[in-house]
Amino acid sequence: MQVATGREVHVPIGADVTLRLASRTYIADFALPQLGLRDFAAPDLPSELHFRADREGRYDVRGDELCGRPHTDKTRGWLVVEDAAAYRVWMHERARETNQ
Amino acid sequence: MSRSARPYKVTGLIAVAVVVGLASVAVFRRQPLASAPVAVPSSTNVYVPADVARPDWVAGRRSAQLASATSISAPHNFQFADGVDASGITTRLVNSMDLGKYYKATHYDHGTAVAVADVDGDGALDLFFVNQAAPNALYRNLGGGRFEDITARAGVAVGDRACVGASFADIDNDGDADLFVTAVREGNLLFLNDGHGTFTNVTANAGVGGTGGHSSGSVFFDYDGDGLLDLFVTNVGKYTQEERYPDGLWRSFGDAFAGHLHAERSEVSILYHNVGGARFATVTTPSGLVHSAWSGDATAFDYDADGRPDLYVPSMQGHDELWQNRGAGRFEKIGRKIFPATPWGAMGVKVLDWNGDGRLDLFVTDMHTDMATNLLPEEEKKKHDPATMFPPRFLATDGNHVLGNALFTNRGGGKFEELSDAANVETGWPWGPSAGDLNADGWPDLVIGAGMNYPFRYAGNNVLLNDGGKRFADAEFILGVEPRRDVTQPWFELDCDGSDVMQDICQGEIRPHMTNDLRSPSERGQVAARHGHVTVWAARASRSAVIADFDNDGDLDVVTNNYGGVPQVLMSDLASRGPVHFLTVQLVGQRSNRDAIGAVVTVQAGGRAQVQVNDGKSGYLAQSVMPLYFGLGSATQADSIKVTWPTGREQVVRESLQSGNRVVIRE
């Protein structure tokens, strides 16, 4: 199933997760600091991050251009790790919105 | 154009696909606007980001540094004052539109040179300012801190290409300073001096126009000891697309700083052998010196003191490299062996004997490591946190790096010890390093052109006073170099009811943002759309700086080249506060190249020896022809001057070494 979402994405606890990063224009920095994950994507230079989230929670996702420019410390997005049932609900809601 | 609200534009984004058990995919996308920005009457006609206009940290740092002055043993009771208004220097460094209206992170941001030579043989040091989107400027020194613009009659304006570096050197050994200018893609230029400050473009005949690369710093050195200066030209790498802006400059890639990850964007730097008659032969491949890293400057550096000049080439996106001169016109890459850990984002380099042990050390500034995160003022004196360094895949190296400036201290036998933190030479956003004895105490001090312009906060230049060869003391505020007179300046103009209506700032952005920013406008701090004529302001910053005695009063002055504005002409008042003991040494090669580039000079005075290499390097992207300056401290004369010429021959002078003399030593 493929769905579209905004600044929040959910994954089920215990699942093997692959994050595929891509950027059309700039060098995009991507970090999930609480999970110790950081990588970047640039045009023609996509990347993948692999992890398994073992603990439920709402984790900060930080993305910015990889150039040290000033930005606020506001969270840019969130990764929500939740149980399988909650994840299925979220996916179905996103699927319904995506198809509308 | 009506004053109605406008929808927010989206021109790009980062997509994050999440694959869970290979069954589901979610994709981040920009949230649609809940509502468009609300239009307001025309009152936002000047845009000055708050953190640019009011750098709150400046006052605190100034206070702290002034309080620290009591702990500095080196003389520091003197001041610099910016004399640009009275100097007659009016050139303005115009930057690429990639650094303003169409901002993107690009190597255009790396600055342009300021170089020094006595171009007309009148005994005073003249100044050449390199420009990016406007003609270059050559100023003749009239004395007393006054200059006149002689660009037009000198014939070195160029103006049809983005110039970057400048190197003065006597390439035909006729006794005057010739000039090599590098440029982005349009070809480099060699100008022969007629001895009176009028130059002739001899590029085509000389064969040094280059390969159409993104050229940057260049270094004259005599690698084969034949008495003719050879030339190494750095090519950064392809950071521009096949499209020009209205000003004629090439438009940068949006991902210019990922260039080192694209093999097809690499460019090989060029080694030219001077074959006489103002002609050069390209010897890059046969010499073995095939350098394709992303490098913008270089310096000759006889690291092993074997008499053959080696070449240290900083890399702005990777490991620095050391090319060992093996003789017979051959070079070998030995960087990882001699310097296993180097900065990752190195910009400038300067050879000096900072600790007075008679061995030549290497100071390297690291700019790009400071871009791994948003550098805060309180972080400028610290090495970068390894935990927040660029991802390994972006570094594309073995990861063994000095995370900031490096001070490679020569322990002899080809061994170096990195002492940047112990010596207190870590700085923020550094570009070009210069060394000179600002307080004439016999120890070389450092000046670093530093800072970022739009859209970053203000950060100042650095002055590091050498405290007796033990450490350096921060002194830019103590000496009046910082804060500069104005920390902000107008940067570019927008017509928010016309052609620039879709520009982010017209759309109401508080600060420029990247199109992959996933925050909502309100989270980013977007305000109402702006209308009318908007002047966008930015922080002032320097890139290159040169140290010399421009008013011939016996102390060293500093001149900087600054994006978007006029230079700083920082005149020292050291000589007006009391007697300054110093010597200048001018070398005239006979069998060696006439500029004696590569000679090592040792001055014995006051019970100790000072060593300087005559490499012409002062600042960044530049090479100059000027006498060496030796502060003598309390000694009123030197005991001896020993010159080790590039030929290897030694010559000792013991006469006429009273303070204030210019000692001309002929080989």
Query: What proportion of chain B, given as a percentage, has pLDDT over 90?
Result: 81
Nearest to A70 among B391, B394, B457 (CB): B457
- A92 versus B55: the higher-pLDDT residue is A92
Beta-carbon separation of A6 and B31 below 8 A: yes
Statement: residue B26 has pLDDT above 60: no
User: Under a CB-based contact definition with an 8 Å cutoff, are residues A21 and A46 in contact?
Assistant: yes
DSSP state letter for B335: H
Which structure tokens are listed for A99?
A: 């198809």
Beta-carbon separation of A71 and B16 below 8 A: no
Nearest chain A CA: its distance from B68 CA (Å): 30
Q: How confident is the model at residue B585 (pLDDT cuts 50, 70, 90)?
A: very high
Within an 8 Å CB–CB cutoff, is residue B257 touching chain A? yes
Q: How confident is the model at residue B3 (pLDDT cuts 50, 70, 90)?
A: very low
What is the predicted pLDDT for the residue at A70? Answer: 52
Statement: residue B7 has pLDDT above 50: no
- B167 versus A22: the higher-pLDDT residue is B167
What is the predicted pLDDT for the residue at B667? Answer: 97
Beta-carbon separation of A68 and B371 below 8 A: yes
* Helix ranges, B354-423 (H): 392-395
Beta-carbon separation of B258 and A27 below 8 A: yes
Q: Which of A21, A26, A88 to mutate to test the interface with B (most CBs of B within 10 A)?
A: A26
- Give the 3-state secondary structure of residue B490: strand
Statement: residue B412 has pLDDT above 60: yes
- A33 preceded by cis ω (within 30°)? no
- B246 preceded by cis ω (within 30°)? no
Beta-carbon separation of A7 and B372 below 8 A: no
User: Under a CB-based contact definition with an 8 Å cutoff, are residues B407 and B425 in contact?
Assistant: yes
Statement: residue A1 has pLDDT above 70: yes
- Average pLDDT rounded to a whole number, residues A26-38: 87
Q: What is the DSSP string of B67-101?
A: HHGGG--S-----EEE-HHHHT----BPPPGGGTT
Nearest chain A CA: its distance from B405 CA (Å): 17
pLDDT tens digits for range A74-83: 447 889 999 9
Token pair 């209506």 is at which residue?
Answer: B501
Query: What proportion of chain A, given as a percentage, has pLDDT over 70?
Result: 92
Q: What rounded mean pLDDT belongs to chain A?
A: 85
- Average pLDDT rounded to a whole number, residues A17-44: 88
Nearest CA-CA partner of B18 in A28, A80, A57 = A80
- B243 versus B508: the higher-pLDDT residue is B243
Nearest to B455 among A11, A69, A87 (CB): A69
pTM value?
0.92
Give B25's contacts in chain A (Cβ within 8 Å). 1-3
Statement: residue B341 has pLDDT above 80: yes
Q: How confident is the model at residue B373 (pLDDT cuts 50, 70, 90)?
A: confident
Beta-strand pair A2-5/B24-28: parallel
Nearest to B391 among A20, A38, A70 (CB): A38
- Average pLDDT rounded to a whole number, residues B440-455: 96
Give A74's contacts in chain B (Cβ within 8 Å). 519, 523
Beta-carbon separation of B20 and A17 below 8 A: yes
pLDDT tens digits for range B255-292: 999 999 999 999 999 999 999 999 999 999 999 999 99
Q: What rounded mean pLDDT belongs to chain B?
A: 91
What is the predicted pLDDT for the residue at B485? Answer: 84
Cα separation, B11 vs B14, in Å, equals 11
| Whether ipTM exceeds 0.90 | no
Of A50-59, B109-118, B125-134, the poorest mean pLDDT is in A50-59
What is the predicted pLDDT for the residue at A69? Answer: 62
What is the predicted pLDDT for the residue at B387? Answer: 87
Give B255's contacts in chain A (Cβ within 8 Å). 23, 25-27, 42-43, 45
- Average pLDDT rounded to a whole number, residues B196-205: 98
Within an 8 Å CB–CB cutoff, is residue B108 touching chain A? no
Beta-carbon separation of B258 and A18 below 8 A: no
- B455 preceded by cis ω (within 30°)? yes
Token pair 């204030």 is at which residue?
Answer: B660
- Average pLDDT rounded to a whole number, residues B406-425: 97
What is the predicted pLDDT for the residue at A13? Answer: 94
Statement: residue B16 has pLDDT above 70: no
- Average pLDDT rounded to a whole number, residues B29-45: 37
Beta-carbon separation of A70 and B372 below 8 A: no
- Average pLDDT rounded to a whole number, residues B621-635: 97
Which structure tokens are listed for B125?
A: 């040091």
pLDDT tens digits for range B77-109: 999 999 999 999 999 999 999 999 888 899 999
Beta-carbon separation of A68 and B517 below 8 A: no
Beta-carbon separation of A45 and B517 below 8 A: no
Nearest to B12 among A25, A67, A76 (CB): A25
Statement: residue A6 has pLDDT above 80: no
* Helix ranges, B30-175 (H): 50-53, 57-68, 84-87, 151-154
Statement: residue B222 has pLDDT above 60: yes
Give A12's contacts in chain B (Cβ within 8 Å). 20
What is the predicted pLDDT for the residue at B512? Answer: 59
Tell me the Cα Rg of chain A: 14
Q: How confident is the model at residue B521 (pLDDT cuts 50, 70, 90)?
A: low
Cα separations in angstroms, B529 against A59, B164, B506: 33, 37, 6
Size of interface A-B (CB pairs under 8 A): 168
Of A25-39, B331-345, B622-636, the poorest mean pLDDT is in A25-39
Beta-carbon separation of B254 and A4 below 8 A: no
- Average pLDDT rounded to a whole number, residues B439-459: 95
- Average pLDDT rounded to a whole number, residues A14-28: 88
B window 383-402, beta carbon within 8 A of A:
390-391, 393-394
| B381: Cβ contacts below 8 Å, ≥ 6 apart | B424, B426, B427, B428, B474
- Give the 3-state secondary structure of residue B614: coil
Give A28's contacts in chain B (Cβ within 8 Å). 14, 514, 516
What is the predicted pLDDT for the residue at B518? Answer: 55
pLDDT tens digits for range B635-664: 999 999 999 999 999 999 999 999 999 999
Cα separation, B433 vs B620, in Å, equals 6
Statement: residue A53 has pLDDT above 70: yes
- B587 versus B454: the higher-pLDDT residue is B587
Statement: residue B23 has pLDDT above 50: no
Phi/psi at A94 (nearest 5 deg)?
-65, -35
Beta-carbon separation of A19 and B28 below 8 A: no
Beta-carbon separation of B518 and A63 below 8 A: yes
What is the predicted pLDDT for the residue at A38? Answer: 87
User: Under a CB-based contact definition with an 8 Å cutoff, are residues B29 and A5 in contact?
Assistant: yes
Q: How confident is the model at residue B596 (pLDDT cuts 50, 70, 90)?
A: very high
